[in-house]
Amino acid sequence: MTHATLILECTEADLKKAGELIRAGELVVFPTETVYGLGANALDPKACRKIFQAKGRPTDNPLIVHLSSMEEILTYTRRVSDRHLKLMEQCMPGPVTFVLPKAPDIPDIVTAGLSTVAIRIPSLTEARRLISYAGVPIAAPSANRSGEPSPTTFEMAYHAMAGRVAAIIKGPMCEVGIESSVVRIEKDRLELLRPGFVTFETLTELGKDFGLEVIDLSQLPQAKPASPGTKYTHYKPKATVYLFSSLEDLFSPLIEIPSSTRILYMKQPQSEELLHRIVSMGIEIVVFENMSDYARHLFFQFHRADKEGITTILAYYPPPTGIGLALRNRLIKASGGRFV
Ligand code: TXA
Ligand code: MG
């Protein structure tokens, strides 16, 4: 523990205090609609360096710069056309990040030396209030230790960052639960770099209105089963995660389910009988209502399983439509691509 960490609430007085800490070069953990962020003054290279230390993050991974309004975009980026701005206006504030050519004000440590900068305007009001009070843009990765799942509750953020930061703002459980979609803007097209809550389908529809083609660059080289490979492990709980595409897979005679197992599943038509069979085997199963519910609770359930000493998580691998694409991306990394 290097820091006495202040716990702040989402009151105006506390958000103001947090803003002052940011401006003074300190680290502050804050809630957003996606996941909790680990924030520092984006214009202060020394403050930003502290982010990498607190997270244990390699410095070749660039940070997202959080702004409180559309007007600020032109200050921190270059060569943004009207067409691009209008498109961004359709989804900001919201759970999406746009990568644009950077203005010279943004220090190299933030962009890992790239000529582009990632910009996001959170839709959670308290996050934007904090940025306004800080009076500077806030560079923030997710507030987890590098490699671990992103925090989606105050308790998770506290667990990861207490003692490493000046303050943690206690907010609500994050609505979205997974990180923003990251979209690079090129002249005539949008490139999806990381899938999120703002889906490929939504971006494609939106792109059409502005004559921009959308391409998906987020697929991992080996998005399919079999090749474990630790190279892509990320968002990893302590428990070992295995994926499955259908509940029937769990009843294969070749599979032995260890006693300390939790199953994460998403409601499907006609799955009642198999669900009953699993419950009667004494295995705990968490059933999500739909994709958004799954996304919202995925990292929270990872955290909960770890806290309870669960050693194996069997997680449903959804189809690649809508938010399913983002879920698959996080699940492949969390499992290292292992299927049951
Ligand atoms: O929802 C979110 O995006 C959360 C909250 C706190 O805003 N933040 C977040 O940050 O997830 P982080 O650092 O965990 O993920 C940022 C992602 C990384 O994959 C990084 O490589 C990418 O954005 N990124 C940042 N700057 C980039 C750039 N200039 N070009 C391409 N990718 C970039
Ligand atoms: Mg992260």
Q: What angle, rounded to 10 degrees, do the helices at 200-209 and 82-91 form?
A: 140
Task: Count the neighbouring beta carbons within 10 Å of the beta carbon of residue 226.
Answer: 9
pTM of this prediction? Answer: 0.95
Q: How far is the CA of 192 from the centre of ligand 2 (A)?
A: 16
* Calpha distance 48→222 (Å, rounded): 33
Q: What is the CATH number of domain 240-335?
A: 3.40.50
| Nearest CA owner, ligand 1 atom 13 | 141
3-class DSSP state of 282: coil
- pLDDT value at position 75? 97
113: CB partners within 8 A, 6+ apart: none
Ligand nearest to the CA of 36: 1
Q: Is the CB of 118 within 6 Å of ligand 1?
A: yes
> Residues in the chain with pLDDT < 70?
1-2, 220-233
Tokens describing residue 69 = 């309004």
Q: Is the CB of 134 within 6 Å of ligand 1?
A: no
Tokens describing residue 101 = 């050519």
Q: What is the CATH number of domain 6-216?
A: 3.90.870.10
The string of pLDDT tens digits covering residues 200-232 is: 999 999 999 999 999 999 985 644 443 333 344
What atom of ligand 1 comes closest to residue 114's alpha carbon? 29
Q: Is the CB of 145 within 6 Å of ligand 1?
A: no
The string of pLDDT tens digits covering residues 9-24 is: 999 999 999 999 999 9
Q: What angle, rounded to 10 degrees, do the helices at 291-307 and 154-161 form?
A: 50
Tokens describing residue 63 = 């940070």
What's the CA dihedral at 83, 216, 235, 168 to 10 degrees? 0
- pLDDT value at position 223? 46
For ligand 1, mutation pick of 28, 51, 64 (most atoms within 8 Å of CB): 64
For ligand 1, mutation pick of 150, 178, 182, 220 (most atoms within 8 Å of CB): 182
- The domain limits of the chain are 6-216, 240-335
Ligand nearest to the CA of 178: 1
Q: Do domains 6-216 and 240-335 have the same CATH topology?
A: no
Q: How far is the CA of 327 from the centre of ligand 1 (A)?
A: 16
Q: Is the CB of 120 within 6 Å of ligand 1?
A: yes
Ligand nearest to the CA of 42: 1
* Calpha distance 39→145 (Å, rounded): 14
